[in-house]
Amino acid sequence: MLASKLEVLVDFGPKLDQNVLDKTLNMLKSQDGIQEAVFKDGAIMVETTLPSTQILNIVTQTSGKRAVLQGFGDTQSAVSMISSQSCCGTNVLGVVRFQQTPEGSLIADGCIDGLTPGCHGLHVHEVGDLSQGCKSIGEHFNPLSATHGAPNDPVHKRHAGDLGNICADESGRATFRIVDNVLKVWDIIGRSVAVTERKDDFGRGSSPESRIDGDSGSPVACGIIARSAGVFQNPKRICACDGVVVWDEKNRPLAGKGRREETKEKRCCKKETHNDVVKPCCRV
């Protein structure tokens, strides 16, 4: 199975505890599905066939420190922040990351919370238009005008955007890692990805909708697909615009209310004034 390279940034503090680092690396190396785990340039680089969420859980639980995924893949990558967009009476949130592998396949890796337990369809849609929430993202991405199908179907018998199903546990969380041989990262940047209310039947059902969308129902959450950083391509630790540190950023909206609540790190980062010009002290 194809492996992904992950750059995991860990909040070790001002002084690295070598014992904690060694314990974390040894735990990672002991796991099936992890091919390599090394400390490099201030981060842990992991080569693995496991979902990134599982890697972050291992690092967090073993080290007792906060951890974030700073880079995904060593080739062209993309990311989508999934949310219910206030469209569906639900509170679904998550992230899907895409990596184009040197072998030609695409890896879709993600974690989505707030789903009803069970399986849900995951599809790339034509456009990245959220002006009407998930209602304005268009149909499934389907450049060959094919009928709806399963991810393993021939290219002319499935939509390019048909990624199959992801399954949520009893808590409503779906953690997944999909390898697809049709989609390419450069074809989906600027489009959108959505998760649906029901399981995708892969076009094998008896209803008219089966050949259209797998009778999977309406999207319950969606997000625009944007370029993202690969391993060691993103040096950011603090957002220069508002001082939010990388550790807190993953739990906050990208903008608006709730973004700029003070943290310990931000309170220590005051603005300096020189010749009536205000300079932020936070570094990128």
Does domain 77-228 bear CATH number 1.20.1530.20?
no
Looking at residue 95, its amino acid is V
What is the spatial distance between Cα 43 and Cα 232, in angstroms, rounded to a whole number?
Answer: 9
Measure the CA angle with vertex 129, ends 125 and 131; round to 5°. 135
Residue 271 banded pLDDT, cuts 50, 70, 90: very low
**Mean pLDDT score across all residues of the chain:** 85
Distances (CA, A) of 266 to 24, 42, 77, 105, 283: 28, 21, 30, 41, 12
So what's the pLDDT on residue 76? 86
So what's the pLDDT on residue 34? 98
Which range, of 22-31, 71-80, 81-90, averages the lowest pLDDT?
A: 81-90
Residue located via tokens 């259209």: 212
- List the one residue out of 103, 147, 140, 137 whose CA is nearest residue 121: 140
- CATH of segment(s) 4-72: 3.30.70.100
* Whether the Cβ atoms of residue 153 and residue 142 lie closer than 8 Å to each other: no
User: DSSP string of 179-196?
Assistant: EESS--HHHHTTSEEEEE
pLDDT of 104 > 60? The answer is yes
β-partners of residue 112 are 94, 174
What is the spatial distance between Cα 82 and Cα 85, in angstroms, rounded to a whole number?
Answer: 8
Per-residue model confidence as pLDDT tens digits over 111-170: 999 999 999 999 999 999 999 999 999 999 999 999 999 999 999 999 999 999 999 999
Helix H or strand E encompassing 83: strand 77-83
Which range, of 17-21, 168-172, 204-208, 240-244, averages the lowest pLDDT?
A: 240-244
pLDDT of 234 > 90? The answer is no
Residue located via tokens 């238009």: 129
In 137-249, where do the E strands start and end? 162-168, 174-180, 192-196, 219-228
**What are the helix and strand counts (H, E) for the chain?**
6, 15
Domain residues of the chain, as ranges?
Answer: 4-72, 77-228, 246-279
In angstroms and rounded to an integer, the radius of gyration of the C-alpha atoms of the chain is 20
